[in-house]
Structures are given as structure tokens and as C-alpha cells.
Structure 1
């Protein structure tokens, strides 16, 4: 089961039914979609995706997916899942524009990396970043990602495949700055 995680400013909460409108609003934002390299998906289709998270992804333990919350407000979305591009796991984060430029993207990636190392035993993780997404590419460089290859889509769009080494697994509870809880999402 996808656990609740906490970093200094972020709560990683498994989605609940009442989070649906937040998820849909995030992924209906044209700027978020642009930088995620995806088309603006119709609202009914996003609602189907959200419901699939609750009825298929979580019950079948397909991968881990969270809503990101800060100070009780929905700030974005995060995932750790197997990638179809290489044999490995991909980190996915998407923040609402109101939370861009505040360091939360890096904090989210660090939280995902820590979880991947400690819980999933990952020695490395991948990220896919649109070639035009200069802010996310700069963040990747600051965090220590390195470029693996360019992936060219059917439409000619270029996505940069990046990889980063995971931190050594933490053995001491709380020593990694990532709290795990079995109960009580605060949002």
C-alpha cells in the first residue's frame, strides 16, 4: 500500500475520493500540461484516470502515487513507477503553478528518491523532462541527474531521459528526514 510520507514542507498523501477535484484541476492546467509534455486531456477522461488510481492502481499495488500537500493545501502530484523506456523506475512530479519556484520540486524529488531507496531498494531512478522545460532541466542538474538520451515522440517533440543515483538506504528511522505514517492524512 502506498504510504503517507512527509518531508520538511510536503505531505505525500495517497489520494482519497475527496481529492478528485484537486487532481483534475492540476492536470487541466494548460501550463502544467505544457511542461509535463502532455496534451490537455478532457475533464471526463481525467476523472476516469483518478478513479482508476483508487480502484486499480492502489488495490493492485501497481505503483505508488500521491497528492502533494503543503500547509493543508494541495500543491501537486507525485509518482514512483516502472518506466517503459528502460528497465527501471521513473519519478514523476507536477506542481501547481502557485508553488513553482519555491524549492518544493527539489524537495519532492528528494522525498521520492529516499522512498525509492529505502522502500523499493532502488539504486537509481529516471526522470523524463521535455527539452524545452529549462526550469525542470536546471533542477535536475542541481539535484545531480545526468542525461542518458533523448527520446523523440511521434510528433517530433524531444524529451530528455535523465538518471540519478539513489541515496544509500537509511537504516535509522527518521534519519533520512522522510517520515512515514500508516494513518491520518491531514488534508
Structure 2
């Protein structure tokens, strides 16, 4: 019988750098950049919320700025994706510890359409996977997407995630019954494709 893995929890998030991006905790000075895309109907079309106003984004950032540690089920991070060249926040990443006992987490994302087509989302999300697997030692990370959201489906595939499930009409979403697709990646699969040394 194999020994149960020792997931590195609690995990305190610290700023992470990629070639072009900085992933960091949100701060109040991000308000205008975040509002610029979270207030857009096209960005929110497949997200669980309607376009947000300034007051709502202000309150959300105040909450997100205080969340930096993952310990138990339901703990999450909402991270700013900042472009290093100009310190502009171009999107955000979501990372939630779904089942700490089983080393299971979920990721999500939202980006300003102005910056699409340049590989930023792939670069940022890949670093989040690296954090989950190489730094935290997690077993499995999933993304749940609307199958009509072609951009997110394509991103999951670029990240090497496999489609594990398609639930038909499983959620009431913005006035309709919507489907959900689940894409997943296990640590062993990540190890096969990437340098898994802790970062």
C-alpha cells in the first residue's frame, strides 16, 4: 500500500513572476483596471456574476486583498494578473482548495479582451498550475467551464487538461439551464510535461 502524499498545507501565497507577468494579491489601487473588464457584459457572459459596478468591485477587492493562505476546504485566492512591462492589471485568476484531504483544487480566470490573443492567459494559468503541483504538492486540479465558452475550452486544452465530464443542464445560469464541462489535470500528468521542481 502506498503512503498517503503529504500536501504542503497550509500554503501562504507569495508573489510569482513569469516571463511577462506578475501574479499577486489584489490591492485597492487595482480598482480601475479590474473594473475595466469586470463591468463588461462580454467578459461576464460565462461567469457566475453579472457586470459589476464600481462599488461592488471595490468591496470584492477589499475581501480578496485579505486572502493569502490556503488551509482547508473552501479557502481561495483571487489573484491579480499584472503585466510587468507597465504594471497594468489585465485579468485575474481564481484558485480554490476544494478538498484539502485529497489534494484537490479548482482554477478559473477572467481577462480583459483587449489583451487576448497574446498568450497571457496561458502563461498566467500555467504558473498557477505550477504553484498547485510543484509548490503545494496537490494531486489534482480542475477547471469547470461552459462548453459554449470557446476561449476557456481552448485554454484548458493548451494547458494540457483533459475533458473528464460534460454535465447537461446541471445549473440554472442567467435565465437558462446551462451545461458544465470539467477539465482536469493530475500531478503525475503535470510531471510528465513540466519541470516539477518546487518554485
TMscore range, shorter length: 0.7 to 0.9
Deviations 1:80-108 (CA, angstroms, capped at 9, x unpaired):
11248xx6211112111111111111111
Q: How far did 1:26 drift? A: 2.3
Larger Rg: 2
Q: Which has the higher contact order (CA 8 A, sep 6+)?
A: 1
The one of 160, 163, 178 equivalent to 2:181 is 160
Deviations 1:132-160 (CA, angstroms, capped at 9, x unpaired):
11122122223221122234212301121
The secondary structure found in structure 2 opposite 1:36 is coil
Mark the runs of 5 or more structure 1 residues left unpaired by the alignment: 174-187
Instruction: Return the TM-score normalized by structure 1.
Output: 0.78
Any conservation in 2 of the 1:2–1:65 contact (CA below 8 Å)?
A: no
Q: Distance in 2 between matches of 1:127 and 1:60?
A: 18
Q: CA RMSD in A?
A: 2.4
Q: How far did 1:69 drift? A: 1.2
1:76 and 2:91 aligned: yes
Q: Distance in 2 between matches of 1:59 and 1:82?
A: 10
Q: How far did 1:78 drift? A: 0.9
1:58 and 2:68 aligned: yes
The secondary structure found in structure 1 opposite 2:65 is helix
Would you say how many aligned residue pairs link Structure 1 and Structure 2? 170
